[in-house]
A and B are shown apart, each in its own frame.
Chain A
Amino acid sequence: MKLFASSSARREAKWAYAFISPWILGLVVFTAFPIIASLLLTFFSAQLTGDSRNFTFVGLDNWARFFSDEKAWAALGVTLRFMLLSLPIGLFIPLMVAILLNSKALIAPGLFRVLWFLPYVIPFVAGVVAWRGVLGQDGPVNGVLHLLGVENPPFWLNDIGWIYPALVLMGIWGIGSAIIVYLAGLGGVPTELYEAATVDGAGWWSSFRHITLPMITPVIFYNLVLGIAGSLQYFLVPFVVNGGNGTPGGSTLFFNILQYKTFFSYQDPGYGSVLAWVLFIVTLFFSLVLFGTQRRWVYYAGETK
């Protein structure tokens, strides 16, 4: 069998490979090699001090260590617990804002859209400083709570019960992209559907429940996929808030922070790679579940059944 039908097809393929060669190089050097290498590293005890590179084969020791490592399981628990709080909020708040911004009754919608997207471009370190400023013990948020009659407003960043809401708030300036994605989804719902519903006497809620929500499930799905991947790899905000020390009470010792410390502070690439692979497997599991259930609840308009 001939691979190429003609010399012109061969020429076309040559050009194509030339054009995509940068990506092929990147795939090999920065994706394929590191993935294989990190899997191999899980079977080694490695030392990288100074100029010496020491690799000793230790079999499944690193993996065995993971299964009895309470700290790692606790960090996984912390990550999943935080996801339970941050994910619904991260899906729901941008949707609510998008619905408001999409309202025909809103004056100057363009201005508000730009304003709600703007903080997305602010470096998150700056966002952390800004939110830490309002969440201080004597800060404006507690001042408002005091005015509303709350006797003992929380010590946001030092209280196990309030640190997660505080972290969620610190990341809230990043919701701009989710809002825009929702707005695109809302704008794509055919207006005839709403007109038909109004003729049938449907109110706002029932239009939302039976038209808007099903029609934007692809967008919700998209935000859900990004949200889960983001929460599993949650790292930057807690790292900047307390340098990854886990305070208060280990509640901010997220899995990725533990992995970072295992490699960069404890200098243990072998065990660090085990942790990386555990996170990879957990991510894969969530992705498979998501894509597996997709057919049941995500509605694609172009799809024929």
Chain B
Amino acid sequence: MTTMATMGNDGLTGAERKEARRRKTTRRRILTTFVVAILTFVFFAPMINLFSSSLKDPDQAVATGAPIWPARPKSITVGTETYTIYKVPLDDGTVKELALIKSGRQESTMADPADLTKTLVWKGSWRTLENVWEFSFAIGNYGDVWKLINFPQLLFNTIVIAIIGTIGTVLSCTLVAYGFARFRFPGRDRLFQVMVATIFIPGTVTLIPTYILFLNLGWVGTWLPLLVPTFVANAFDVFLMRQYFLTIPREHDEAAQIEGATPMEILRNVIIPQSWPVIVAVTIFHFVYSWNDYFGPLIYLATKPELQPLGVGLNRFSGIYYTRAGYVEAATMLTLIIPVILFIAFQRYFVRGVVVTTGIDK
């Protein structure tokens, strides 16, 4: 009677049903993870291809029938002679890797690569034979590109522009966000609305007068158009920081105020120590933004290759060396490696930063 009580109308006991459900869950977990893993692989395939191509020399890049990995046809060298090795189908149905000693249109002489004296005559056109491929890295692409593109200079430009711009952004946005988050003043709400509205103004509408302004100041062809605007705050990061400052309890400020702290001291001793997550988020966001900025450097540094950062330099380089795919690809790898390392090191802050910006995670 007790077993009857736990049996469902499918005739299974409770334990059996639990086991079946567990197995079904496991199957679903494996299937879902498998699908996601495949999609992730497809998503990253161009990067894998890029890396692989960056290790190929020009011959390898255009070799027909070559595998996707950096490879060259396998061969052996004896004395001064080099013999290419092919996959040769033999009469007994097996395929053997043999070196081509003497090629002919109708028949060729093949030899065992391990012992070239063991020869045989193979009937058929050797041109139809498949190569045997072995790994061969043109690691020299990286060294060549390093010099050709003047990589250290481009890297220096990129890093300095990114660091100064990040300092400007973090400093100015912290001050402005603090002003909006902690003070009452006439017109505050209206000004804040104006600020949020400026996020939606397309950059093109301010582009021409801004360019003419910088031209008249004599700043075109210098880093100033890229750096000076970062010191007057940007709406996006101010918004992000203000939202965060609002979550810090006001009692902390008030306690400091009673002890006679000035607003500047409150910012330094109360607000900033509690705001590291948002400060780090803004820092890495601006750093990556600056690293990847293309349009600004393109228009303001067009005539000054020695001042350009990596992105513009890379595109100029790929225009010149478009016939050397391996060079362009190696240069591209060099360009993307630092943001990727930064991301992996700080990925927690990135992800949280994106979520905070949307205001969903209040």
Chain A residues within CB distance 8 Å of chain B: 3, 9, 12-13, 15-20, 22-23, 25-27, 29-31, 33-35, 37-38, 41, 48, 53, 97, 100-101, 103, 105-108, 112-119, 121-127, 129-131, 133-134, 139-140, 172, 177, 180-181, 184-185, 188, 218-219, 222, 229, 232-233, 235-236, 240, 243, 256, 259, 263-264, 269, 272-273, 275-277, 279-280, 283, 287
Label chain A's interface by main secondary structure. helix
B15 at the interface (CB under 8 A from A): no
Q: Is B179 an interface residue (CB 8 A)?
A: yes
A253 to chain B, nearest CB (A): 15
Q: Chain B residues near A17: list those with CB within 8 A.
A: 179, 185
Q: Are B185 and A16 in contact (CB under 8 A)?
A: yes
Closest 4 CB pairs of A and B: A26-B232, A19-B179, A16-B183, A34-B206
Within 8 A of A (CB), among B179-230: 179-180, 183-186, 188, 191, 194-195, 198, 200-213, 215-216, 229
Check A276 against B233 for contact (C-beta < 8 Å).
no
Judge whether B347 is part of the interface by a CB distance below 8 angstroms: yes
Q: How far is B175's CA from A20's CA once the two chains are assembled, in angstroms?
A: 7
Q: Give the residues in chain B near A218, CB-CB below 8 Å.
A: 360
Interchain CB contact under 8 A, B68 and A140 = yes
> In this assembly, does B355 line the interface, its C-beta being within 8 Å of a C-beta of chain A?
yes
Point out residues on B near A: beta carbons under 8 Å.
25, 28-33, 35-36, 39-40, 43-47, 49-50, 53, 68, 172, 175-176, 178-180, 183-186, 188, 191, 194-195, 198, 200-213, 215-216, 229, 231-235, 238, 263, 288, 291-292, 294-295, 299, 310-311, 314-315, 318-319, 325, 328-329, 332, 335-336, 339-340, 342-344, 347, 350-351, 354-355, 358, 360-361
* B298 (CB) vs chain A CBs: closest residue: A239
The CA-CA distance from A34 to B216 in the complex, in Å, is 14
Q: Give Cα A287 to B200, complex, Å.
A: 9
Cα(A133)–Cα(B229), bound, Å = 36
**Residues in B neighbouring A25, C-beta threshold 8 A:** 232
Contact A20 B339 (CB under 8 A): no
Once the chains bind, are B202 and A133 in contact (CB under 8 Å)? no
Q: Is A272's CB under 8 angstroms from B328's CB? A: no
Cβ contact within 8 Å between A180 and B355: yes
In the bound assembly, the distance between CA atoms of A274 and B78 in angstroms comes to 73
Does B204 contact A181, Cβ atoms closer than 8 Å? no
- A130→B183 contact, CB < 8 A: no
- Assembly CA distance A107 to B26 (angstroms): 10
Q: How far, in whole Å, are A115 and B208 apart by their CA atoms in the complex?
A: 39
Give the chain A neighbours of B344 by CB distance below 8 A.
Answer: 114, 118
B335 adjacent to A13 (CB under 8 Å): no
Please name all residues of chain A whose beta carbon is closer than 8 Å to the beta carbon of B68 when the two chains form the complex: 140
A235 neighbours in B (Cβ, 8 Å): 295
